[in-house]
Amino acid sequence: MNAPFKILSKDKNSQARTGILYTKHGAVHTPVFMPVATQACVKALTDEDLKNAGAECLLSNTYHLYLRPTTKLLQQMGGLHQFMHWNGSILTDSGGFQVYSLPKFRKIKEEGVTFQSHHDGSKHLFTPENVIQFESEIGSDIWTMLDVCIHAKDPSKHDAREALNITKRWAERAARAYEKTVPVQHITQNSDGSFSVKNSLLFGIIQGAIFPDLRKEAALHMAGLPTHGYCIGGLSLGETLDQMKAAVSAVTENLPEGKPRYFMGLGTPVEMLNAVERGVDMFDCVWPTRVARNGMVMTSTGRVNIKNAEYRTQDIPLDSECDCFTCRTYSRAYLCHLFRAQELTSHRLLSIHNIRFLIRLMERAREAISAGTFLSFKEDVIKKYLGK
């Protein structure tokens, strides 16, 4: 199965590349950061804020949407795009990670995973097949397969092996369910190399915890299945940077070049640039908006906690290099005041900045890859960010 993915440039000194992923809602330029709209909303932001920040693709959570407002309701409303008034692309995760986060309330069987709702304790079953059906009801552009996620910090190899074995069998079932749901010939390549995509795409999830040999095995297995792209799941969960780098390399080195790779749940600048260097194309994370609501922002010279007293009198932007609405309009002093006065507008303004910071970081990474200067770009950004 070919992916509607056009590689535009490749770095000579690393595996970094730039490209365009085509979906039924347009083009997504990679490497890309995707803001997370957990419950059909990026917390505190509107679709206009997200467009102005340069977002091309959002991530939403099948688990949350299934429980509330329910995927059936979304289908009645014409799908998630129409419901939340977003006409860019949307990727949905499969619920595997959310269910993993409820260890007391989940039970994994061959058929699927049973879990209890975090709202009312009601019992539910996710299977590889019904998750594809739920994503179809949501109407997202990119669907992911149900997987078994385990903790990456000190996992036992036995547990990682068991989780991988089930994930592989579920992936085969999800691929068959996709083929029954989506007509085969919905992607056509145009004469300029771009693609027209009429239906949703399918991404497989690669597990294997921190073990490079399991990661390699998972990548080779997924490469043999009919999917349009690959998710790297189960990382950024407490492992060291070196363990993360080794796991990512073991995956990307064993995947076909012509399909996009998406690192699930990663949204910190240093780690993202290290993953781009290893050939990762897509990222998402709730972290930038979650910490913004606690007053923490990323700037080109490192993290700033806007509630600190030193910012009360600073009549300068959060980050003088940032082009976001917040930095173009307001001073640190004003934002510090809003946060200390518990004004909700501070959540919006700081979230806009953090989202734009990561989107712009990926835009600059794309420019550097195209210019053949990615590794020096990466080194400069990280040095400045970490204050070294």
- Which residues carry out catalysis? 93, 284
**Minimum distance from residue 193 beta carbon to Zn ion (Å):** 34
Is 12 or 364 the residue whose CB approaches Zn ion more closely? 364
* Residue 15 or 326 having the CB closest to Zn ion: 326
Smallest separation (angstroms) from Zn ion to the CB of 333? 15
**Minimal distance, residue 58 CB to Zn ion, in Å:** 19
Which residue lies nearer to Zn ion by CB, 145 or 298? 298
Q: How far is the CB of 361 from Zn ion (least distance, A)?
A: 12
Task: Reduce the secondary structure of the chain to three states and give it as a string.
Answer: CCCCEEEEEECCCCCCEEEEEEECCEEEEECEEEEECCCCCCCCCCHHHHHHCCCCEEEEEHHHHHHCCCHHHHHHCCCHHHHHCCCCEEEEECCHHHHHCCHHHEEECCCCEEEECCCCCCEEEECHHHHHHHHHHHCCCEEECCCCCCCCCCCCHHHHHHHHHHHHHHHHHHHHHHHHHCCCCCEEECCCCCEEECCCEEEEEECCCCCHHHHHHHHHHHHCCCCCEEEECCCCCCCCHHHHHHHHHHHHCCCCCCCCEEECCCCCHHHHHHHHHCCCCEEEECHHHHHHCCCEEEECCEEEECCCHHHCCCCCCCCCCCCCHHHHHCCHHHHHHHHHCCCCHHHHHHHHHHHHHHHHHHHHHHHHHHHCCHHHHHHHHHHHHHCC
Residue with Cβ nearer Zn ion (348 or 353) = 353
Identify residue 44 by its one-letter amino acid code: A
Q: How many residues bind Zn ion (CB under 5 A)?
A: 5
166 binds Zn ion (CB under 5 A): no
Amino acid found at 333: A
Contact 267, 285 (CB under 8 A): yes
3-11, 157-165, 327-335, 369-377 -> range binding Zn ion (CB under 5 A): 327-335
Choice between 81 and 353, CB closer to Zn ion: 353
Site for Zn ion in 187-226 (CB under 5 A): none
CB 291 to Zn ion: min, Å: 14
Closest CA to 263 of 255, 252, 79: 252
Query: Which residue in the set 231, 327, 349, 369 belongs to the binding site for Zn ion (CB under 5 A)?
Result: 327
Residue 364 C-beta: closest distance to Zn ion, Å: 14
Going residue by residue from 280 to 319, which x/- string records binding to Zn ion, judged by CB under 5 A?
----------------------------------------
State yes or no: residue 322 binds Zn ion (CB under 5 A): yes
Q: Which is nearer to Zn ion, 42 or 131 (CB)?
A: 42
Among 324, 335, 358, 369, binds Zn ion (CB under 5 A): 324
Pick between residue 53 and residue 202 the one whose CB is nearest to Zn ion. Answer: 53
The interface with Zn ion within residues 343-372 (CB under 5 A) comprises 353
Is position 168 an interface residue for Zn ion (rule: CB under 5 A)?
no
Binding site for Zn ion (CB under 5 A): 322, 324, 326-327, 353
